[in-house]
Amino acid sequence: MKFFRTLFALLFLVICLPSNNVSAAAQGNAESSAFTGNHSVTIATPNPDGSIYHIVAYGDTLYDISQAYGVSPEEIMVNSGNSPQATDLREGDRLIIRFKSTVTPTNDFTPTPVPVTPQPTKIYISPTATATRTPSPTATITPTPPLSHRVLGNSKNVGSALIGTGVFGLLVLAYFGFIKKK
């Protein structure tokens, strides 16, 4: 019963969690992905001049694209040279989301003087590192451990001794338990 509950929970998670598929773009712009409705729309990064172009990928709808960029579908279609009522898109269509931004020149530029505060220069002389002598290694004699430590320290020897003791005990039990009673 617990197995079926776990299996059902896993299936529910797999079915209900959305997948964020990112499609490759035709332009070399950096992109991010926005999840709108049932489809993940790849969002193009604005160009240096401020314009944004979107290349329609498989599964993109005009509504999903407008939601991803925060622009009305009619505005996207008008910017792209289509009728505001048009909704048909084909994979590979290039939509203009936003035109390049025009810079408005201003003639009343007044430079602001930047005050310079003089600071005294501190001269700091760092001490030169002096070489230190590295001690050379010395030979250390390692004492040989006693025989009991060498035998009991090896797990293979201990295991063999336990098996041997067990077999000997079984033989003694068999002899005194079955053979001696006869």
- Residue 21's CATH number: 3.10.350
Q: Specify the pLDDT at position 74.
A: 92
Q: Specify the pLDDT at position 34.
A: 56
In a domain, 37, yes or no: yes
**Are residue 27 and residue 90 in the same domain, yes or no?**
yes
Tell me: pLDDT of 4 over 80.
no
Domain tally, the chain: 2
Q: Specify the pLDDT at position 20.
A: 41
In a domain, 68, yes or no: yes
Give the number of other CB atoms < 10 A from CB of residue 134. Answer: 6
pTM score of the predicted model: 0.39
Residue 160 structural domain: 148-179
**Are residue 91 and residue 160 in the same domain, yes or no?**
no
**Are residue 27 and residue 93 in the same domain, yes or no?**
yes
In a domain, 46, yes or no: yes
- Average pLDDT value for the chain: 75
Give per-residue pLDDT as tens, 137-150.
788 888 888 887 77
Higher per-residue confidence, 116 vs 55 = 55
| Cβ 34 vs Cβ 43: under 8 Å | yes
What gap in Å lies between CA 113 and CA 127, rounded to an integer?
41
Average pLDDT for residues 51-78, to the nearest whole number? Answer: 89
Report the run of H or E that residue 94 belongs to, with start and end.
strand 94-98
In a domain, 53, yes or no: yes
In a domain, 172, yes or no: yes
In a domain, 132, yes or no: no
Tell me: pLDDT of 11 over 70.
no
